[in-house]
Amino acid sequence: MRIVATAEEMRELGEELAALLRPGDLAVLTGPLGAGKTTLVQGIAEGLKVRGPITSPTFVIARVHPSLSGGPALVHADAYRLGGDLEVDDLDLDASLEESVTVVEWGEGLVEGLADDRLEILIGRSASGEPGEERTVTLRGVGPRWHGVL
């Protein structure tokens, strides 16, 4: 678990995570509204050197951000408005999974079937939930891909 005090620290953590991510990786972000999920993805995007801007994909559901440096593209999806597995299937996220880094906000319970290996990122807010307060970020690697990485 890591304590993150500011939005800038959340972006920096995202950049650190980007150094661990490679094509075919699936990251599932979980946390309440305003926890910093999109801010973390902004840092991942910076670290992967992909085309931006990185904004919440809530209304478009998924965006592909091509690499500016010859690395993997970033597929940034938001499952908040999805009603179930069939709607996840309609997104065709698995079509680009092998050559991209795929990050799904609100994907817990919906996207785990896309890959045997995944990085689960849980972002928690303080008990008071006040804006600007510290967050806790917990990383959990699932599957052989993540053994010894975190």
Res 129: pLDDT: 57
Mean pLDDT, residues 57-81: 84
Q: Which of 46-55, 62-71, 82-91, 122-131 has the lowest mean pLDDT?
A: 82-91
* Residue of 95, 115, 125 whose CA lies nearest to 30: 125
Write the pLDDT tens digit of every residue in 90-136. Answer: 565 666 678 999 999 988 888 888 888 999 999 998 766 566 689 99
pTM for the structure as a whole: 0.88
